[in-house]
Structure 1
Amino acid sequence: MPTKRHIATVMELNWPYKRHYEIFAGIQEYARDHAHWSFDLGNYPEFQLANGVHFDGILGRISEDCLAAARDAAIPVVNVWFGSPVFSKVPGVYVDFGAAGRMAAEHLIARGLRRLAHFGYRGDPASEQHYQGMLEVAREHDYPCTRHMVSSHYDESRDQWMRFIESVRSSQAGWQAPLGIVFNGDELCRSVASACITMGWTIPEQLAMVGSGNEILICNAIDPTLSSIDMGYQRCGFEAARLLDRLMQGAPPPTKPLYTPPKELVVRRSSDVFAVSDPHVAQALRYMADHIGDTLSVPSIARFVGLGRQSLERRFKRHVGRTINDELIRLRVERLKRLLVESDEPIKTVSVEAGFGTTVNMHTMFKRHTGMTPKAYRKNHGPRPATVP
């Protein structure tokens, strides 16, 4: 049995945040399967260190005081708090907010949205990374993506709430339906959705919305229920624990922050729409999105919606702006990009999962759309596993 180690785990479990509990669950999972650890869950291990308590490592939401005390005691530390003031000074493992922004944008574009917007928190690094990921996809398609930022304290008093409502109202001045809106947080998504419904907007017909975090109680607390990205915080905790274990064994720290990909986008009613006026085209888009990993062809799609091929082609071109085959390729490329980022499966395997019939065809289409090979894309964008070489 490995040597038992005593770990200070700073996760602020007194706050009812899913992300805190899921990260700790991932830490526990690693310790159960790969290590022999005991935990101290106090939020201020620097005070315990000052009073003679021994820790073999510290893991969690690392503050400046905690890091200073750990360095004085020569204890390895791993941070999981993206907004920590010591982010650049300490090894860390984080969920990939940029990948989440990209995932949300790709989902909305696949649903026919051509105008996008982003809501995040002012001065928040996670919101910035989230927005940049979304903007990257919007620019690839040459679609507009407006940005709206609010205070993270927008609901802490009546005055702050009223300023928030006025901010949402003023943001709407430039909106044109249908619009896809992405939020770096489910509570912010719920608050804006509630305000917009009160102001007369319909969701998802006019405003399609995607949150972040997949906080189920929040997502289901409003009608329509909120689509959201499950960020995969448990994996983040597992990989952070793995990194701390290596550091305690004397491995050198990584030179860059390590990231874990989001788990999945959970589609609920707030984005369950296809933003085209032609019902046959909308039906075709839904069928393609739901079956993109299958063997699809233009004739089979036309048969499914009950139209002749040429008739559907004309309608599709008029409402979507490209051919059915072009849309099939775009969806497959987007799915393959996500699989390359989220998985370390062989490229041939994920190519089949993305719906490409042959690897040769996939390489040609992928390079045409991205300007790089799948191998180069995986190297540049992911997966960014939270492991140390």
Structure 2
Amino acid sequence: MPEIPHVALLVETSREYARGLLRGVARYQQEYGPWSIYFEPHGLDDPPPDWLSDWKGHGILARINSRETAEKILATGIPAVDVRGALPDLSIPFIGVDNRPVAQLGYEHLRNLGLRSFAFCGTPRGENPNQDNRCDWFVELVEQGGQACDVWLGAQSKQHAATWEEQQQDMARWLRNLPKPVGIMTCHDDRGQQLLDACRRANLSVPDEVAVISVDNDPYLCNICTPPLSSIDVNPSRIGFAAAELLGRMMQGEQPERQVTTLGPPRGIAARRSTEMLAIDDEDVAAALRYIREHATEGIRASQVVSRAAKAPSTLERRFKKTLGRTIKAEITRVKLSRARLLLTETEYPIATIAERAGFAEAKYFCEVFRKHHNATATEYRRRFRDE
């Protein structure tokens, strides 16, 4: 009988992203194990455990956040996979988030609110490459859209790190100087919570003056914010599963083809009150957009939306497209597909039921539209992105 692999998980449990990674590892282990798991709850910045130096296991999966931890893992000579990506020069393969579609999803969500001013709130450059990339992609998307993007990254070095109060005051000053209304994407939920606090200090209304979206979708942190924080779900379970899969191959002697592997796109947006606003001057367009978002899943048609215009219904379609860059019909389809994606990933409903609840008259037509927009069938999408 072959020996059961002994695998050490050096992953914290304090945030939803890391817990999602562990769920993915657990799913892989249940399907392809068994593994004997060495796991002790700890924090991201905790030193490596003392037992690691003499450990005689077969594989390590870790959120490596310090050079000390990296060196201790490398010294074991045991196959290892990093799921943090804080040290880009490591000779340990990394699996993580593809930050380009994450930034695109955040930008499009804010732009769809009718906003034309944007900013990014992140962490000091060099602190984490993933957060740097997230910022860079967001800025590029904003600039491609013809706008400038303000950026706040905080203190640039740990030697001169500001206190919490100093940092909050600096962030509040930055917020006061931004054009309003403004849509801000933050690098993660921790920064999003901090930004909302700074908005209160600056006497700025969220979301009316400042709409905020963050990344990681930690439900506990997002829902204790005032107001609750919209956030992008990057599907960490999928990343944990892929990391465990790679580690399994490495423990069998396979060498990874790439040092860095990014998985995407993200699962979607958990929209909460921090982005519940519409920054549209045209009252008819704003009313049409609000009506679509409230009733798209009821199977409404573009003609119904046009007929509700208080002034000049004959020009509403043209004004709508000029304001949002797409037709009324396209917006109805976009909202319906957004609902369908959520149902695919969070329910057991069959495809026909999902089509009906998303506002499509026929399941066959829904499947055709879904495949056209996502380059995958609804069933494939569910299998790929669902957090089982």
TM-score tier after normalising by the smaller chain length: 0.7 to 0.9
For the 8 Å contact 2:285–2:319, the answer to whether it is kept is no
Which of 19, 28, 31 does residue 29 from structure 2 map onto?
Answer: 31
Quote the Cα distance in structure 1 between the aligned partners of 2:157 and 2:218: 19
| Deviation readout 1:119-153 (Å, 9 max, x if unpaired) | 00012322211112322432342233221111499
2:165 matched to which residue of 1?
Answer: 161
Which of 96, 106, 110 does residue 104 from structure 1 map onto?
Answer: 106
2:96 matched to which residue of 1?
Answer: 94
1:212 matched to which residue of 2?
Answer: 215
Query: Is structure 2 residue 284 aligned with structure 1 residue 280?
Result: yes
Which of 179, 197, 200 does residue 200 from structure 2 map onto?
Answer: 197
For the 8 Å contact 2:11–2:63, the answer to whether it is kept is yes
Residue 314 to residue 260, structure 1, CA distance change in 2 (3 Å): same
1:269 matched to which residue of 2?
Answer: 273
For the 8 Å contact 2:214–2:231, the answer to whether it is kept is yes
Residue 60 to residue 361, structure 1, CA distance change in 2 (3 Å): closer
What SS does the corresponding residue of 1:55 show, helix, strand or coil? coil
Quote the Cα distance in structure 1 between the aligned partners of 2:324 and 2:10: 53
2:87 matched to which residue of 1?
Answer: 84
For the 8 Å contact 1:99–1:130, the answer to whether it is kept is no
For the 8 Å contact 2:124–2:157, the answer to whether it is kept is no
Which of 294, 305, 309 does residue 307 from structure 1 map onto?
Answer: 309
Residue 153 to residue 165, structure 1, CA distance change in 2 (3 Å): farther
1:257 matched to which residue of 2?
Answer: 260
Moved more, 321-330 or 276-285: 321-330
For the 8 Å contact 1:119–1:148, the answer to whether it is kept is yes
- Counterpart AA for 2:148: P
Residue 185 to residue 359, structure 1, CA distance change in 2 (3 Å): closer
> Over the residues paired in the alignment, what is the CA RMSD in angstroms?
4.1
For the 8 Å contact 2:16–2:219, the answer to whether it is kept is no
1:228 matched to which residue of 2?
Answer: 231
Quote the Cα distance in structure 2 between the aligned partners of 1:104 and 1:80: 22
Quote the Cα distance in structure 2 between the aligned partners of 1:199 and 1:332: 38
For the 8 Å contact 1:220–1:226, the answer to whether it is kept is yes
- Counterpart AA for 1:33: E
For the 8 Å contact 1:106–1:137, the answer to whether it is kept is no
- Counterpart AA for 2:121: F
1:370 matched to which residue of 2?
Answer: none
For the 8 Å contact 1:316–1:323, the answer to whether it is kept is no
For the 8 Å contact 1:118–1:182, the answer to whether it is kept is yes
Paired-residue identity, %? 23
- Counterpart AA for 2:229: L
Moved more, 201-210 or 164-173: 164-173
Residue 247 to residue 321, structure 1, CA distance change in 2 (3 Å): same
Tell me how far 1:30 sits from its aligned partner. Answer: 1.1
Quote the Cα distance in structure 2 between the aligned partners of 1:74 and 1:235: 27
For the 8 Å contact 1:102–1:136, the answer to whether it is kept is no
| Deviation readout 1:257-287 (Å, 9 max, x if unpaired) | 2223322211111101111144432232234
TM-score of the pair, normalised by structure 2: 0.75
Query: Is structure 2 residue 57 aligned with structure 1 residue 55?
Result: yes
1:120 matched to which residue of 2?
Answer: 122
Unaligned runs of 5+ in 1: 344-348, 367-373, 376-384
Quote the Cα distance in structure 2 between the aligned partners of 1:24 and 1:361: 34
For the 8 Å contact 1:46–1:65, the answer to whether it is kept is no
- Counterpart AA for 2:131: S
